[in-house]
Amino acid sequence: MTTFKNKAAFVTGAASGIGLAITKALVARGANVMMADIDVDRLKAEMDAIDAPDKLAMIHCEVTDYAAVQAARDATLERFGKVHFVFNNAGVSLAGRSGHIAIKDWQWITDINLMGVVHGVEAFLPGMRVHGEEGCIVNTASMAGHTPTPYMPPYHATKFAVVGYSEALEMELKDSPISVSVLCPTWVKSNIYNASFGSPSKAGQDAEKFKNNPVYESTKSLVDNGMSAEKFADLVMTSIAKKRFYVFNDPEVRPVFDMRRDRILADFDACMADLKLDS
């Protein structure tokens, strides 16, 4: 059973939602946490509100910038000595219809949701291997990394990538003291529905004009009615302690896995049948 007391964690996207709730859950279990985010005003306010100055530090960290993630790692090591848990959690969403999504927006979400995770792993894993103590790399994907829906193709593509990347990473680290977990929640209360206003094609414009839109409204409503971030963070802590790889939070999605597997296997079997016919 993995324990958290007096271990050190690095959490991206720690100023809000899931990352903030994970930070609080870690501190409640005795861990030290470096909170990282691009929204430093919010980060500072949340860190002060937790009021655990011995356990917490914060840093501005743009996860798309590998040098910034390396600098944040160095600051974490300087403050806490070692890092045991890396939460590659910062992420954004982006809705749109294929054929109408700006390529620069695709690049933006890929750089944050996928490369941000890669940067965290590449920056922290070598040091975790060297100190050799028990730890965990926790990548935030989404249920959207298993089941696609229309009108969010860049989000799904990046989250499927994080799931696949995490599965490969887990295999690589199988015989090491470092476990891997991949978070695959459906809706959790947070500010994620505002994230797409930061995309290159919307940045700097009045966010209000994008809000009168069915995709925005339905996403906001689903997130607002989702699981509390605190409840999800508790599940994350339990899952890490038990070295569970996939972390799901929604009983209603179980049949979706069956449908997806059945469809894949039906096409697989059909291809095999066609191959036999051709040979």
Helix or strand (DSSP H, E) at 261? helix 254-278
Closest to ligand NAD by CB, 163 vs 188, is: 188
For residue 94, what are the CA distances in angstroms to 39, 154, 157, 202, 248? 19, 7, 11, 11, 22
Min separation Cβ 240 and ligand NAD, Å: 16
Closest to ligand NAD by CB, 140 vs 181, is: 140
By CB under 6 A, name the binding residues for ligand NAD. Answer: 12-13, 15-19, 37-39, 61-64, 89-92, 112, 140, 142, 185, 187-188, 190-192, 195, 223, 226
Closest to ligand NAD by CB, 6 vs 218, is: 218
Min separation Cβ 252 and ligand NAD, Å: 14
Min separation Cβ 168 and ligand NAD, Å: 19
CA 222/CA 192 separation, integer angstroms: 11
Closest to ligand NAD by CB, 6 vs 14, is: 14
Closest to ligand NAD by CB, 177 vs 257, is: 257
Min separation Cβ 238 and ligand NAD, Å: 18
- CA neighbor of 93 nearest in space, from 226, 9, 202: 202
Q: Which long-range contacts (CB under 8 A, 24 or more apart) does 3-6 make?
A: 3/29, 3/241, 4/29, 4/30, 4/31, 4/85, 4/237, 4/241, 5/29, 5/30, 5/31, 6/30, 6/31, 6/32
DSSP secondary-structure letter at 133?
Answer: -
Q: Indicate the residue type of 45.
A: A
Q: Which residues are part of the catalytic machinery?
A: 155
Closest to ligand NAD by CB, 153 vs 177, is: 153
CA 271/CA 273 separation, integer angstroms: 5
Min separation Cβ 274 and ligand NAD, Å: 37
Task: Give phi and psi for 110, each to the nearest 5.
Answer: -65, -40
Strand partners, 135: 178
Min separation Cβ 188 and ligand NAD, Å: 4
Question: How would you write 64-124 as a 3-class SS string?
Answer: CCHHHHHHHHHHHHHHHCCCCEEEECCCCCCCCCCCCCCHHHHHHHHHHHHHHHHHHHHHH
